[in-house]
Structure 1
Amino acid sequence: MGQPLICMTLTGKTIEEDIKLSQKYEKFCDVLELRADHLDENEQLLIRKFPALVKKPCILTIRRDSDGGLWTGNDFSRTNLFGRALAFADPDKKRNFAYVDFEEDYHIPSIQDAAMAFGVRIIRSCHNMTEPIHNLRKRCDAMRKTGYEIPKIAFMPKTLSDVVNLFHESSLMTNYDHILVAMGAEGMPSRILTSISNSYMTYTSPQETADKTASIGHIDPVVLNDLYNFKGISKSTQLFGITGWPLVKTSSPEIHNMGYRHHGIDAVYFPIRSQLISESLNFAEQLDVKGMSVTIPFKESVLYYLHELSPEVMQIGACNTVVRKNYKWIGYNTDCTGFERALLEFLGSNVKTKKMKVSIIGAGGAAKAIAYTVKKLGMKACIFNRTLETAQKLAEKYDFMAAKLDETSAMILDEYSSLIIQTTSVGMNAEGPISPENDPIYFYKFRGTEKVFDIVYVPASTPVMRRASAAGCKVCNGYKMLEYQAYEQFKLFTGVDY
């Protein structure tokens, strides 16, 4: 089977809007899907002209609301619209629709015969917007009424295991063109690794209309090409990734994939979203993923599944990197080295770290790596956490103080305020006004002499950083820590210095 195609879905309200988007993203896609169900009613009458107005082969789709579309009219009206769009075929096939999408239960012989007569390939589709679909191979075989049709199955996985099943079944499907898509956050690998699933094409949406397809997990065509090197992925490409939940935003793929391109390594790094670390590891084993970054909330729970631990992981009790060698998972911690390098740059060469009194906000996996580094640098610290017992357990390990993370500990925080290190996810993706919900130390009043290091990097300035900066404090986000720990991961994955 050939290299999979990139299909960009157009969901504008007017033909003109869709044409402008097709022109903007022309070099990033191979096929355009005109979603006529999104067009204004008067614009739907113009769809016959669309293929002649763009430079790519086109799919005509009029998706019913029951299948995730916007068409709420009756089947008779929809059939008339299909007929209108396929009629009066032009001798130049480029001016006709190249494909038409019919659901598996939509069988109108006259329309199907017209499509086949005019050389329009039929995509026979099946969508389940809420549940996984199993027996994919058998289902695709049944959907192919003729050898001319391309069966398409798109479903919403409940777990990452449903996505594993997609790749397992698709590995045996090499006899005919087919399209298999797992939707949603957990289904993202099926859109990036289309060449591995032997799928005929993958679907994307332009950034301008991403909100319309966010729930089903479409990727921007520029991101798919430039970040994930979609056209360069083959069955021989080495696979790496980052796993966590919900893993809404991450800059790690940009860092790692840039490194692969720079060194000419045939590899791709992509998000592996799951609510269970056991499923992430199973996914990796089934698809031969050779290494993963591990983020919230799995840095501690992953330890149970590892066969070997680096000395740092054994000491810290948390792992942010796993590598698979000889069918065994080996755990490493690069957070500690990444944090140390970023922190020392932030503090500057003139700052003496020994005996500096530091507040560590949080007691999770990241905090464990940071506490390890703080102790290594000779600092004194107090661990602040909402659950005091958790803070105490971490503090005892390094002979630190512990305190409850609330307004009752404001004076203790003030005592350990020469450096405040924020290690929780509070403030992540928080673009709105500062509030107790997005500022973990909302009760603390900055004097302006504190230094604040927040390991969150999206947004670049978190609410607590904005508040500290306004008071005159020197602040730093976690992007440099991310970069430096990623460089260490890159070497563990590839054996090559970043």
Structure 2
Amino acid sequence: MAFKNNLLVCTPLECETAGEMLSSMKRAETEGADLTELRLDSLSFSHNSEVEKLIKQRTLPSIVSFRLEPSRISSNKDRKNTCLQVLRLAFDLNVEFVEMDYEVASEDVMAEYVYNRSNTKLIVSSYVNGRKPSAEELGYLIACMQSTGADVLKLVLDVEKITELAPVFTMLTHCQIPLIALAVGSRGLISQLLGPKFGGFLVYGSLSDKAVPGMPTLLSLRQIYKLEYINADTKVFGLISNPVGHSKGPVLHNPAFRHTGYNGIYVPMQVDDVKEFFRTYTSSDFAGFSVGIPHKEAAVGCCDEVHPLAKSIGAVNTIVRRPTDGKLVGYNTDCDASISAIEDALTERRITHKGVLEASPLSGKTFVLIGAGGAGRALAFGAKSRGARVIIFNRNYERAKALAKAVSGEALPYESLDRFRPVNGMILANASAIGMEPNSDQIPVSKEILKACELVFDAVYTPRNTRLLQEAKEVGAVVVSGVEMFIRQALGQFRLFTGGLAPEAFMRKLVLEQF
């Protein structure tokens, strides 16, 4: 069954045997695929009767394809003849779709089958490798492909930067016949997730145990992104980061959009150059962004306006495109999220006899910070505003000194961290990536230093219970997970994204379940 917006979800199957392909097809059906692409060029078979048996035994509607490497279309005649025989057989068996390379479809030898096909739809594909075509070049290519008599067109592109997808979205919107666009690689992921918004005919999803870079899994399409809700009016939000694969934002924001009835989708965006990204994606369709490592500071310069707190910190983690004039406005929800989480944990220990805390529990405390990036800056300014004495360690000592100067704190060389003489009752906050998956066995400080800490905070939230927090808890310190910061900053972002209230209980429950 196609989605109610007529979008199809297809799982490509590359298997060595027909048995494996049929088994994978059943799994794809279980995980929610509408159809499969049988990539018969991957199959080992000695006679076409094996292919015929496979096609007849299929349990899902299918696309039959036999890809030829562009450089070998003319040179390898045996391979080409096998391709032509397989595709003709698929036409004869009235398979739902046959896909062929544009170069093959253009040849006279296939014209008869293309012209005389009965129920089979023809997909003509082109693999745009090694070059970065403009919208005009793609438009010309599409016109040539359409002249073959295709029912559906397909573009496959290797992309090095996420900005190279902009002309693809333009083609999806304006193409006169159904178009499939697939960008290969981790930076191409949004070519699938945003396909239905821009008019894509079909998106690809991989089997859960066969992840493909740049391709969402079937389960994520059905359970997280739910593309049946996406249409031309859907607002696009996403995380701008590098790397981006660790993000839990999609599993939080997408269900929250649906829970509140807001027409939005939140997607991971692996961005290398944040300035180029914002120069490229200027449409009001791209309505808001979370900003992650390493772009939080550089993103300040991309905003037309910056909230005073974010300006003083020198880092933004949230950017919203104001609907009235299209200007980009930057905010920082990290600061309040992290500091309030720390304060609340300390408050549980230090309620006054009247039941009211008279000052911030951070006031007068020594606040030791590891990391001087965007998250570190938010923590440093927040701690300073609560009256703490801030000491900063960072691998780049110059960055540590610059941040220390901004908050009237102290910077120490990162190499001296092991020799640091801790102050009893101090607060330790890790705002570096040390301990993040897949390097979850790493820890930024020794257990001896942790013994002097009243509280340890770790901005890392994958894994939820980092080695730093485990060892801090073992020596009796209060621990605050980055998950708590993640929840609080996400609530602030959601309010900014939607201009309304965030469903706090719903979002908190969702995050704790996911982690």
Q: TM exceeds 0.5?
A: yes
> What is the Cα deviation at residue 286 of structure 1?
2.8
Equivalent position SS for 1:195: helix
Q: How does 1:152-301 map to 2 (within 5 A)?
A: 152-173=154-175, 175-210=176-211, 213-214=212-213, 217-286=214-283, 288-301=285-298
**More displaced, 43-52 or 329-338?**
43-52
Equivalent position SS for 2:6: coil
> Hey, what does 1:425 align to over in structure 2?
433
Equivalent position SS for 2:283: helix
Q: Give the conservation status (yes or no) of the 8 Å contact 1:160–1:279.
A: no
Q: How does 1:12-411 map to 2 (within 5 A)?
A: 12-26=15-29, 28-41=32-45, 46-65=50-69, 74-80=76-82, 82-84=84-86, 86-87=88-89, 96-107=94-105, 109-111=108-110, 113-114=112-113, 116-134=116-134, 135-173=137-175, 175-210=176-211, 213-214=212-213, 217-286=214-283, 288-325=285-322, 326-347=325-346, 349-351=348-350, 352-406=361-415, 408-411=416-419
Amino acid across the alignment from 1:289: F
Q: Give the conservation status (yes or no) of the 8 Å contact 2:157–2:183.
A: yes
Say if 1:130 and 1:60 are closer, same or farther in 2 by CA, change over 3 A.
same
Say if 1:88 and 1:418 are closer, same or farther in 2 by CA, change over 3 A.
closer
Count of residue pairs brought into register by the alignment: 481
Q: Give the conservation status (yes or no) of the 8 Å contact 2:375–2:431.
A: yes
Deviations 1:135-185 (A, max 9, x none): 111101101233334221111123333211222233322x21222222222
**More displaced, 79-88 or 330-339?**
79-88
Equivalent position SS for 1:25: helix
> Hey, what does 2:511 align to over in structure 1?
none
Say if 1:89 and 1:385 are closer, same or farther in 2 by CA, change over 3 A.
closer
Q: Distance in 2 between matches of 1:263 and 1:284?
A: 26
Q: Distance in 1 between matches of 2:84 and 2:429?
A: 60
Q: Distance in 1 between matches of 2:414 and 2:288?
A: 35
Say if 1:127 and 1:354 are closer, same or farther in 2 by CA, change over 3 A.
same
Q: Distance in 1 between matches of 2:239 and 2:169?
A: 19
> What is the Cα deviation at residue 341 of structure 1?
3.1
* Structure 1 unpaired stretches of 5+: none
Amino acid across the alignment from 1:48: E
> What is the Cα deviation at residue 328 of structure 1?
1.0
Say if 1:420 and 1:38 are closer, same or farther in 2 by CA, change over 3 A.
farther
Say if 1:142 and 1:81 are closer, same or farther in 2 by CA, change over 3 A.
closer
Report the TM-score when normalising by structure 1: 0.87
* Structure 2 unpaired stretches of 5+: 351-360, 503-515
**How big is the alpha-carbon RMSD for the aligned residues of Structure 1 and Structure 2?**
3.0
> What is the Cα deviation at residue 75 of structure 1?
4.0
Say if 1:114 and 1:343 are closer, same or farther in 2 by CA, change over 3 A.
same
> What is the Cα deviation at residue 368 of structure 1?
0.8
Say if 1:304 and 1:44 are closer, same or farther in 2 by CA, change over 3 A.
farther
Say if 1:31 and 1:314 are closer, same or farther in 2 by CA, change over 3 A.
same
Q: Give the conservation status (yes or no) of the 8 Å contact 2:123–2:150.
A: no
Deviations 1:229-268 (A, max 9, x none): 2121110112211112222321111111111111111111
Say if 1:88 and 1:473 are closer, same or farther in 2 by CA, change over 3 A.
closer
Say if 1:287 and 1:195 are closer, same or farther in 2 by CA, change over 3 A.
farther
Report the TM-score when normalising by structure 2: 0.84
Q: Give the conservation status (yes or no) of the 8 Å contact 2:14–2:21.
A: yes
